[in-house]
Structure 1
Amino acid sequence: MLVNESNLKYKLEDVYILSTGVFYFFEEFIVSEINEGVHFNWETAQEVIELALNHYGRDAKISYISNRVYSYSIEAQDWLKFFKSRHNLRTFAVVTYSKSGLINVMMEKIFFKSRIKTFENLHDAADWVAQYHPTVRTNTMVL
């Protein structure tokens, strides 16, 4: 399910449509929908990281939901560059809709320094992430 087809109850602050995908910035978490066929790596992630730092501030502890509705590739070992650059996430959730998607997450877990939680639907992922952010308000999202 795409974010714009959902009725997430969390406060949407901004939407960024980039060449790599669409990034929804909620109060304290981001939901990404990477475009079909994209190879997402450290270089392509830089634009999103800068947007997040400018939006939330450099010291913010945000969460990230990867809503994997399309087929694309990830440079899993680039998570090491993310952490080496002293970036951090409060939580990381992956919504996957296929068995091959679960296998890809298992590969990512090798390089990701924290826990990755997988979900079969976007609403459950957003609810899980929100529980780690006590200031998140539940307002109906309107797209």
Structure 2
Amino acid sequence: MIFETSEPASIFKHQKLTLDFGVFYFCDQFIIVEINEGIDYTWDKIEIVAMMVVKHYGNNPKLGYISNRVNSYSVDPSLWDKFHNTYNMIVASAIVSYNKFGSLNAEIEKRLTYKSTKRCTSLDEAIVWITNLKEFKN
């Protein structure tokens, strides 16, 4: 389920950013990422998104990251440690998988990062988990 047509899209205030490799939804406490089919999500693309995040949220934001895997694409899981060490803006991540292959990939990514990561089977589950993190409770 894509975020834009989901019930949470009508609940959470968000700004949509469409790039040639994916769609990004900037909500108050988290980002939802939907990478396009067949894309190789490389460091260059990740840096573009990081710059857009800083432009939107300002310097040193603390956000949740939801990877809504509605399409099949590739990413080198080792890039996430590089991302966290370079930008340090993601508190925790949720990976939404809609099939067994996606779930297996999410498990590999979860094992290769030191940040809290949850595998989810629905966008709703991911949003509930992210918004209930202690870092976002005031």
TM-score (structure 2 length as normaliser): 0.90
Task: Decide whether aligned partners of structure 1 residues 128 and 110 sit closer, same or farther in structure 2, where only a CA change above 3 A counts.
Answer: closer
SS in 1 for 2:7: coil
- Give a deviation string over 1:20-63, Cα, whole Å, max 9, x none: 10000001110010000000121111111011111112222111
TM-aligned CA deviation for residue 79 of structure 1: 1.3
26-35 vs 106-115, greater mean Cα deviation: 106-115
Distance in 2, Cα, partners of 1:29 & 1:17: 17
Higher helix content, 1 or 2: 2
SS in 2 for 1:84: helix
The answer to which structure, 1 or 2, has the higher relative contact order (CA under 8 A, 6+ apart) is 1
Residue number in structure 1 paired with 2:13 = 11
Distance in 1, Cα, partners of 2:38 & 2:108: 19
Q: Which runs of 5 or more residues in structure 2 are unaligned?
A: none
Letter of the aligned partner of 2:137 in structure 1? P
Letter of the aligned partner of 1:134 in structure 2? K
TM-aligned CA deviation for residue 86 of structure 1: 4.1
Task: Report matched runs for 1:104-143 at 5 Å.
Answer: 104-132=105-133, 133-134=136-137
Residue number in structure 2 paired with 1:140 = none
TM-score (structure 1 length as normaliser): 0.87
Residue number in structure 2 paired with 1:90 = 91
Distance in 2, Cα, partners of 1:134 & 1:25: 19
Distance in 2, Cα, partners of 1:118 & 1:83: 19
Identity of aligned residues (%): 34
Residue number in structure 2 paired with 1:54 = 55
How many residues align? The count is 134
